Each structure stands twice: as C-alpha cells, then as structure tokens.
Structure 1
C-alpha cells in the first residue's frame, strides 16, 4: 500500500478548519498547526498520529494528566 507524503509543515492539519482558533496549537511531533486539547482534540496532527495508531491500534487517544 502506497501512501501519499504529508504536505509541508507550513500547511495546517485539516482539523483546524473545523475548530475554534483558541483550540489550535502546534503538533507535538512536527509543530504543524492542529486541533489541540479541545473536545476530541489530539496533540498530534493526523500524519504524526498515523504511525502511533499502527503501533497501538485505532483506539489510541490522548488522556489528560491533569486532575
């Protein structure tokens, strides 16, 4: 299976188009702008999350460590 390479880091993750600007921040992996820490938000863009999901499964999610 051949996958297309990710776009340049200067282009935001498509998730940023559907969330408020207050929930947009840098990806923890590549620093691309992504939906971050909001409802359903992840600290990783879709391209950095893909290898993590391959290793851990599709149910991997970010869990806050704050009480």
Structure 2
C-alpha cells in the first residue's frame, strides 16, 4: 500500500460512513469508520501490517451483530 497521508486527513472509510460512526483509529488516532456495521478499530494503514501477520487462513470478521 502507499504511504499514508498526514494524520490530519481521515481514512477514506470515514468519508463514506455516517458521522456518528466515525471514531479515532486505535493505532494512529486518524479519523476512521470505527463504530457500527463494517467498523474497525484500526484505519486501513494500521490494519495492513496486522493482516499481514495473520496468514492465509485467517479472515477479519466483525464480532458485532
């Protein structure tokens, strides 16, 4: 993935979700889609190295209903 933009710029997911579902990334504090369906505590740049360590057989599945 490309170099992330400055922290003042939100994750693209924050731009397409309702404002009440926007929160801060647990890693870098960038605004991201954190709450509700499809939300994640990490922005796409912080999530990428985490996913790389999971291996091929593990998928990210939300634990929220």
Q: TM-score, normalised by structure 2?
A: 0.84
- What number of residue pairs does the alignment pair up? 62
Where does structure 1 differ by over 4 angstroms across 4 or more consecutive aligned residues? none
Q: TM-score, normalised by structure 1?
A: 0.81
Task: Note the residue ranges of structure 2 that are not aligned, 5 or more in a row.
Answer: none
Task: Note the residue ranges of structure 1 that are not aligned, 5 or more in a row.
Answer: none
RMSD: 1.6
Deviations 1:20-59 (A, max 9, x none): 0000000000000000021011010000000000001461
CA distance in 2, matches of 1:4, 1:13: 13
Q: Higher relative contact order at CA 8 Å, sep ≥6: structure 1 or structure 2?
A: 2
SS at match of 1:56: coil
CA distance in 2, matches of 1:61, 1:6: 24
